Chain A
Amino acid sequence: MSNATLKELSVQLAAGACSSVELSRDFINKINSLNKALGCFITLDAERTLAQAQAADAQRAAGRAGPLTGVPLAHKDIFCAKDWLTTCGSRMLANFVAPYDAHVVERCNAAGMVTLGKTNMDEFAMGSSNETSHFGPVRNPWNRDMVPGGSSGGSAAAVAARLAPAATGTDTGGSIRQPAALTGICGLKPTYGVVSRYGMIAFASSLDQAGPMARSAEDLGMLLNVMAGHDPRDSTSLERPAEDYNRSLEKTLQGLRIGLPREFFAAGLTPDVQRAVEAAVAEYKKLGATVVDISLPNMGLSVPVYYVLAPAEASSNLSRFDGVRYGHRAAEYTDLMDMYKRSRAEGFGAEVKRRILIGTYVLSHGYYDAYYIRAQKLRRLIAGDFVEAFKQCDVIMGPTSPTTAFKLGEKSADPVQMYLSDIYTIAVNLAGLPGMSIPCGLDGGGLPVGLQIIGNYFEEARMLNVAHQYQLATDWHQRMPRGFGV
């Protein structure tokens, strides 16, 4: 049962083949036996989970079930969930029980979905390997010496290990797509503003976007249908008519124009990843697509631009964690300033501190114009590259990450190497575009490779169609790390 997709679970629950309580108990059991080895979850609460499952079953019995009623999922621990510990992977919030639900959690609850737990993540979503979590690393189910990627590493590994059929994630510079690629699952970052950020602990507000993580494109669409929608509590949430993101899954890809940015296939890309991506493109050609050589000339600026803007916003967003009202406060301090210093020094990990320092620096008097303002200008140039590119193609494809999963500890001493892990995903956030990753092969070591599909604004349904057609023709998304099947 735990190997079933959302779609299959939806059908089975509707047919009465199982109850939500049975299903949830299955997942709880599996989590209990494997979480220690993988570190996917920070918080589990079986009682609460089963109570929610019971309520879902009652709802079904009363004839009020929707497509996902009773289906379990896991929430990244960046989303506030009422009465759940919500840590954001940080010691700073290790004691923080959220008094309210994030919009995303609210929507999933309203759809009758059952929360299995809160998943591990890089501290405050800052990281690409899930190693910055205060609660320890997450291990990649494909090879436990490897990282699962980050920052949504717990969600990705949980879905890959079949500890949850789907999970929520967030993506500021690749935090859904890169871990999806490294764990062989699917992940979608929607157009900025499609999913409300209310209740999602902010990292870099102008880049943060929540999205679904699951094992097929169709499942992503089902979950996105629940997560998306206007929310007046988020001023950047877009007011658009509701849409069914799975409405065009079955459309043919005949005539689809795929743009391949030169810059995605240049130095730094490992040969195994390149081969797998090229094979996927060849498959698309078989499905009727044509390939267009495109250029995103300012792509090379996206990592430096990102590492000015994201830390700038983060340095301000994380100021509220001061030990005054909630969260970690140092046990001893001499005065107010000392309380701030000790509480924050103890509460935040090294990567978070690094980014607060960078962000504070680039916003400082005398540096603001040279860094922040310039980065904003370059951000517009990068977005402009995509506008030009989409005049020639319908979707853009390339690798999600330059490498497959790397070893725990391999890059943690070298932040720049770590940052380059997101070199293909960051530009998409800077432009506010939708992007997704789907599995497209395995490298020589048997580790999954992710294919990135980037769409134009609000083209999520088209992207899901493109991914779904590929998944009808291939079985990479059904590959499973050894030892995790049922």
Chain B
Amino acid sequence: MKWEVVIGLETHAQLSTVSKIFSGAATAFGAAPNTQACGVDIALPGVLPVLNTGAVERAIRFGLAVDGKINPRSIFARKNYFYPDLPKGYQISQYELPIVEGGRVTIQVGDIEKTVQLTRAHLEEDAGKSLHEDFRGQTGIDLNRAGTPLLEIVTEPDMRSAEEAVAYARALHTLVRWIDVCDGNMQEGSFRCDANVSVRPAGSTTLGTRREIKNLNSFRFLQQAIEYEVRWQIGEIEDGRTIQQATVLFDPDTGETRMMRTKEDAHDYRYFPDPDLLPLEVTAERLAAVRAAMPVLPQARREHFVAQYGLTRYDADLLTASRELADYFDATASGADARTGKLCANWISGALSARLNEEGLDIARSRVTAPQLRGLIDRIADGTISGKIAKDVFDAIWAGEGDADSIIAAKGLKQISDSGELEKIVDQVLAANAQQVADFRAGREKAFNSLVGQVMKASRGKANPQQVNDILRRKLAG
């Protein structure tokens, strides 16, 4: 039987506010346990929550970015359950009326573009952390994370493969960083996904029973966990068993998912509106102010890059992986024609990216500035230097030796395009390589490349390769 996979994702994006969602304590990562938890976070008797407007602004920004509906009035509710790292005995979240409803994220899988519909995005606070390993027979509680603002982003069950789920998660990850609502740091837990996975016979319109894989904090784990889960579910059904609704955990060491709890032991969270917080009102003025401060979104930037510089969709995708990268490309390619634009794209996603990766730098800390890179590309475009020499010049710029023009002049790297001079070099090479000339004439094309290489070598890389080609062809034909 052919099976169809159905996936919906719930993503917790930690909002990049300096302080917590309902208290003034800092949200910075990595502080000593319980040093960033104030009276509100540890739920002293008598303390009250006060909503951080920065978190609201970020939620609105997200809602606008995905073209969702920003509810003019949303409600904070209490989700009640007991756990030692949940100090109040309830989590403040949004339940019936979230701040954002609907919206969509466009993803690209191979050549196919697809839209994933969002159900909602709501504000909530994070819980603290239970440390089971560090204390023998006891559990340590660190409440630094308690009260950290989260935006929980929920999709419709629109994805049909692990690849699509990962593509969505990546697109979302790019987007939340793009609009500055989340730092996207997955190691620190700033961006984590729960995947709801079910399978059904291809062609069926009813949903299969889902299992929810909790807390996936890397794209690789997301992919592996879904793939494993899909295989497992299909296996179960084909062996005649039924799937039970359950919450499962992915174990990266074994690559398997394992059951955490079934629907039967699910909590009754006894949601009700939090009487300590007023309904969250978003006025038209506030909405307009946030809208006015929105950056141009990745989709629009991509379209602009394709239209303006003739980039392929693939290149445009690469260059919109982050706002900084897109800005860098824009600054580099500014005013360029299609050919130069393509060169800019190639250099940025090629040599520059490789170099940044090697040195563990992000684009904002590139040691070659956008104007410097453009200076280099202009010299390639106008034939002053070859692409090969350009690599050396790039390294020199990176090393801080100056910009392209000064380096080319200082090192005498200008391309030899003078045909008289080139013919002289070609003649010398042909004279010295009689065997290859004979080979070529005997029909061995490889010999030609070898001759080109000899010419380039003799010119110390400076010969204009196209001209060398032309001259060689002419002379060998003669």
Contact = CB atoms under 8 A, between A and B. Distances in A.
**A and B are partners in one complex rather than unrelated chains:** yes
Q: Which of B43, B44, B271 is most buried by chain A, counting CB atoms within 10 A of its CB?
A: B44
Contact of B45 (A235, A320, A368): A320
B44 A100 contact: yes
B307 interface: no
Contacts of B39: 99-100
Interface stretch (B76-84, B101-109, B184-192): B76-84
Nearest to A196: B48
Contacts of B84: 322, 324, 336
A307 interface: no
Contact of A235 (B82, B89, B141, B277): B277
A336 B81 CA distance: 13
Nearest to B88: A320
B89 A322 contact: yes
B149 to A, nearest CB: 16
A236 B276 contact: yes
Nearest to A361: B270
Q: Which of B47, B51, B88, B270 is most buried by chain A, counting CB atoms within 10 A of its CB?
A: B270
Contacts of A318: 89
Interface string B252-295: 00000000000000001011100111100000000000000000
Interface string B36-57: 0001001111111111000000
Nearest to B80: A316
Given A325-B87, A363-B272, A365-B268, A320 B46 contact: no
A453 interface: no
Interface stretch (A2-10, A201-209, A252-260, A463-471): A201-209
B90 interface: yes
Contacts of B49: 235
A232 to B, nearest CB: 7
Contacts of B45: 80, 86, 88, 93, 96, 98, 201-202, 320-321
A234 B278 CA distance: 10
Given A233-B48, A235-B50, A320 B270 contact: no
A364 interface: yes
A206 B275 contact: yes
Nearest to B40: A233
Given A99-B39, A235-B278, A319 B46 contact: no
A199 B90 contact: no
Nearest to A86: B45
Nearest to A336: B84
Nearest to A96: B45
Nearest to B276: A205
A364 B270 contact: yes
Contacts of B43: 320, 325
Q: Which of A235, A322, A365 is most buried by chain B, counting CB atoms within 10 A of its CB?
A: A235
B89 A312 contact: no
Contacts of B278: 235-236
A333 interface: no
A484 interface: no
A167 B361 CA distance: 64
Interface in A275-331: 312-313, 315-316, 318-322, 324-326
B249 to A, nearest CB: 19
Interface residues of B, number: 29
A102 interface: yes
Nearest to B139: A336
Nearest to A309: B275
B47 A198 contact: yes
A360 B81 CA distance: 11
Contacts of A324: 84, 87, 141
B50 A320 contact: no
Nearest to A205: B275
B223 to A, nearest CB: 34
Nearest to B269: A365
A318 B46 CA distance: 11
B72 to A, nearest CB: 18
B88 A364 contact: no
A198 B47 CA distance: 6
B283 to A, nearest CB: 16
A236 B51 CA distance: 12
A80 B90 CA distance: 22
Contacts of B271: 363, 368
A201 B270 contact: no
A316 B90 contact: yes
A372 B272 contact: yes
Nearest to A124: B45
A197 interface: yes
Contacts of A312: 272
Nearest to B130: A336
B50 A233 contact: yes
Contacts of A96: 45
Contacts of A99: 39, 44
Given A236-B278, A363-B272, A197 B48 contact: yes
Contacts of A363: 80, 270-272
Interface in A73-100: 79-80, 86, 88, 93, 96, 98-100
A457 interface: no
Contact of A316 (B47, B87, B272, B277): B272
A234 B80 contact: no
A217 B49 CA distance: 34
A364 B87 contact: no
A21 interface: no
Interface string A178-201: 000000000000000000011111
A265 interface: no
A390 interface: no
Nearest to B84: A324
B51 A320 contact: no
A28 B408 CA distance: 92
B272 to A, nearest CB: 6
A340 interface: yes
Contacts of B272: 312, 316, 363, 368, 372
Contacts of A236: 275-276, 278
Contacts of A80: 44-46
Contacts of A364: 268, 270
Contact of B82 (A100, A204, A322): A322
Given A100-B39, A363-B270, A319 B89 contact: yes
B276 A316 contact: no
A363 B268 CA distance: 9
A207 to B, nearest CB: 8
Contacts of A100: 39, 44
Contacts of A319: 80, 82, 88-90
A234 B48 contact: yes
B140 to A, nearest CB: 12
A326 B268 contact: no
B311 to A, nearest CB: 49
A439 B61 CA distance: 57
A344 to B, nearest CB: 9
A76 B450 CA distance: 97
Given A235-B51, A319-B89, A199 B277 contact: no
Q: Which of A320, A363, A364 is most buried by chain B, counting CB atoms within 10 A of its CB?
A: A320
Contacts of A199: 46-47
A368 B268 CA distance: 11
Contacts of A340: 82
Contacts of B50: 232-235
Contact of A360 (B44, B90, B270): B270
A243 to B, nearest CB: 22
B80 A202 contact: no
Q: Which 3 A-B pairs have the closest CB atoms?
A: A319-B89, A363-B270, A206-B275
Interface of B: 39, 42-51, 78, 80, 82, 84, 87-90, 139, 141, 268, 270-272, 275-278
9 contacts: A99-B39, A100-B44, A197-B46, A202-B45, A313-B275, A320-B43, A324-B84, A364-B270, A372-B272
Given A80-B46, A319-B88, 6 more contacts: A199-B46, A322-B82, A322-B89, A325-B43, A368-B270, A368-B272
